[in-house]
Amino acid sequence: MMWLNLIISALPGALISGAVISSIFNWQLNQRRLQLQTTFELHREWNGESLRLSRNLGDKFLLAHPNKDLIQIDNDGSVNPEDSVHLWIIIGFYQRL
């Protein structure tokens, strides 16, 4: 009978420990799932039509302005901001990575 009292007194601690361990495991599993989902979404966006167009136009823009860095492109009055918008779209994508 004494062993039954010992088991009953240890039961709440075991249940709380199990709940904590289960919660930590589920949280880690959920974090991994979200990382994987984000990776697939970014891959889908990178290969999407709009970003493909921005990559091509951004590449042409950089080839047309080979001696300018980003500060010159942003602050220089000789570059039309509408021409460099595709370059900033690509930079924005990489910043989200």
Residue ranges, the chain, pLDDT below 70: 1-8, 10-11, 14
pTM: 0.65
Number of domains in the chain: 1
In a domain, residue 61? The reply is yes
d(CA 6, CA 84): 73
Taking only the tens place, the pLDDT of each residue in 12-33 is: 776 777 788 888 989 999 999 9
pLDDT (0 to 100) of residue 50 = 92
In a domain, residue 36? The reply is no
pLDDT (0 to 100) of residue 74 = 77
What's the domain range around 65? 42-97
Residues 65 and 73 sit within 8 Å (Cβ to Cβ): yes
User: What tokens appear for 68 in the block?
Assistant: 């300018």
pLDDT (0 to 100) of residue 22 = 87
The alpha carbon of 21 is separated from its chain's Cα centroid by a whole number of angstroms, namely: 27
Contacts with 43 (C-beta within 8 Å, 6 or more apart), sequence order: none
